[in-house]
Amino acid sequence: MGRVVLTIVSQDKDQCYLQALAKSPSYSAVTSFNCLSKNLVEFGKAIKGFPGSLGEKEDFSIGAGMGRAEFSFQTVASTGLCECWVRIKGLHGEAGQNAEAFFPIDYLDAAAVESFSRELIKMGTGHSKTAELKNQFEKESA
């Protein structure tokens, strides 16, 4: 279960400031970071058509330094489904400690990944402000 939502807070020609929110039934995490717009397009293209075969895996990271989101897509046995492990990193607290959350978003079908891929490309080209990846059991967001 779970979902991840990327939202552009502000954007110029080559770069955007993103907020990344990830939720599962047990955990949630949010962070914000700078990201090159072309990285969103590259991420969208990297996961387009995923999963193409059993045992396939695709890793991608957006952002840099203390604030970033890392994604690891992998197929789940012979189910035709996949899961995405999401690692959200950011600063936490006044002492500047590193905060991190790491959990799966599972029961993803190819259509969910394809939709996320299209939304990422639209974000990177300035045609959308949000991309959401959610499993087939996640309720619609309000």
Domains of the chain, start order: 3-134 (2.30.31)
Res 142: pLDDT: 40
Res 35: pLDDT: 92
Res 107: pLDDT: 85
Nearest-angstrom CA–CA distance, 34 and 88: 14
Nearest-angstrom CA–CA distance, 11 and 14: 8
3-state helix, strand, coil in the chain (%, to 5): 20, 50, 30
Res 66: pLDDT: 76
Nearest-angstrom CA–CA distance, 118 and 37: 14
> What average pLDDT values come out for the chain (142 residues) when binned by 10 residues?
90 90 82 92 95 87 85 86 87 58 85 95 95 78 44
47 within 8 A of 58, measured Cβ to Cβ: yes
Res 138: pLDDT: 63
Res 100: pLDDT: 78
